[in-house]
Amino acid sequence: MELMIPLKNQPGLPYYSQIYTYIKNEIVKGNLRPADRLPSTRQLAEHLKVSRSTTQMAYEQLLSEGYIESVPCRGYFVLKIDGLIHTGQENKSQFSFFTDPIEGTGRKKDWSVDFSPRGIDLCNFPFNAWRRISKNTLIDDNREMFAAGDPQGEYLFREAIRSYLHSARGVNCVPEQIIVGAGSEYLLMLLSQILGRDRIIAMENPTYRQAYRVFNSLQYKVVPVDMDQSGMDVRVLEKSGADIAYIMPSHQYPTGIIMPVKRRQELLAWAYEREDRYLIEDDYDSEFRYKGKPIPALQGMDDRDRVIYCGTFSKSIAPAIRVSYVVLPRPLCRIYQKRISFYASTVSRIDQNILYQFMSEGHYERHLNRMRAVYKAKHDLLTAGLKSFEDQFTIEGEHAGLHLLLTDRKGRSEEELVAKAEAKNVKVYGLSGYFIHKEHNKYPPTVIIGFANLTETQIQTGIALLKEAWSVNGSKEGML
């Protein structure tokens, strides 16, 4: 078979990626059928006038994702993909599942480029591995999977989480301290039953608005605490009257601040001053760091059981998985057992077993490694494209996470920047929307630009359109 692949010389879009995308789309659309034989890497390289390593990289990616198979002494063949979960974006972009705290529910407009900080890349999701594990879970009519399970979550799954947290995040715990739940919102509501309602909760300002909404709906008094370059200001926290502090030390959302050791020690010292004080550590996207080693969790520094550690699979796997977990300090575990251990688990045993096998068979670690590479490529492309913006903006948050912050230097308002981008059909997000009370916003005009759910081509297009919108010098450069 001869493949007519239209290769284009585009900056940031290598040939192997174009070959991979073309073949993948042809398989998804049915133009390449199961058992169709593909040309060898050597034949395809000669036909397209590219190096053999280029075609090999494309085939290796297709092999790893299960679109093709390699048969010894015969060649490469298209695999049957009936039942593949389509994202609806195979021909254009990674689909973005998100509910943005600024926009409300869902997307209101079909933007040319949406720099959402909440999206993730789903095109690289290991569908074949997930599908195989899902089938194997039920292949023997395993009736136990449909019975009520452990209220805290299945023990083997909690052990897998414990092992991962210890090796990857430096968290010290045992499975008995872990509670699995369907989403962080549910676990925060469960936590309120353990901590009691007579509490004052301090939150970084700006912060993750969804957590604030949960606390507010539970009728907690929530006090915003200003941050400096190291994170939550402990002096302001001391004066707030709070006995609970909700923090994101490894990568603060949305500012991207990475809390240094000294500030972590100061917050632990604050918690140790009184018996009833706790820190809630939200470690929502610690897996994605692009410079230096991963930052260990604050919980690993705590030797007096004052840190409540919260994590989720939503960013690292997919939002629709809806599986999160909380690691309780031992005193709170005892309260949990006495008061609310009768609450049934909100995650089915089937889903827990799938995730357990996904982790224990090594798929989760491989997926994280692959996504770090994918996100780093997009991150590097975006930061390189934003170099020409540096005379008009200060760019921050570039070493971790899935978004960057651009702070205006020219005296323009946040509203003006957002409106000018929208005039070019590009969506960016104002930092002001992440403050508990907007009147507390002391930051200069700043917009947030996410990149996880965009293709490299969309990132380049978005940069070019923002250059025009904000009259950045050389606005015509990089136009596609």
Per-chain mean pLDDT for the chain: 87
Q: How confident is the model at residue 475 (pLDDT cuts 50, 70, 90)?
A: very low
Architecture of domain 148-361 in this structure: 3-Layer(aba) Sandwich (3.40)
> What is the per-residue pLDDT across 376-410, written as a single tens digit (0 to 9) for each?
999 999 999 999 999 999 998 777 788 999 999 99
Contact between residue 326 and residue 178 where contact means Cβ atoms under 8 Å apart: yes
DSSP 36-71: PEEPPHHHHHHHHTS-HHHHHHHHHHHHHHTSEEEE
pLDDT of residue 296: 85
Q: What is the dihedral of CA 83, 84, 86, 91, to 10 degrees?
A: -130
The mean pLDDT of 9-33, rounded to a whole number, is: 84
Every domain of the chain with CATH number 1.10.10.10 lies at 15-78
- On the question of pLDDT at 237 being above 90, the answer is yes
Class for the domain spanning 113-125+365-469: alpha beta
Nearest CA-CA partner of 27 in 120, 91, 70: 91
Q: How confident is the model at residue 243 (pLDDT cuts 50, 70, 90)?
A: very high
Whose structure tokens read 């170099």?
387
The mean pLDDT of 80-100, rounded to a whole number, is: 43
Every domain of the chain with CATH number 3.90.1150.10 lies at 113-125+365-469
pLDDT of residue 79: 87
Q: How far apart are CA 382 and CA 460, in angstroms?
A: 8
pLDDT of residue 254: 92
> What is the per-residue pLDDT across 276-303, written as a single tens digit (0 to 9) for each?
999 999 998 777 777 666 678 999 999 9
Q: Sheet containing 393-396: which strands, arranged edge to edge?
A: 393-396, 403-408, 446-450, 429-430
Q: Which residues pair with 307 in a beta bridge?
A: 279
- On the question of pLDDT at 340 being above 50, the answer is yes
pLDDT of residue 82: 53
This prediction has a pTM of 0.75
Q: For the domain bounded by 15-78, which CATH number is listed?
A: 1.10.10.10
pLDDT of residue 104: 45
Every domain of the chain with CATH number 3.40.640.10 lies at 148-361
Nearest CA-CA partner of 387 in 398, 376, 377: 398
pLDDT of residue 106: 44
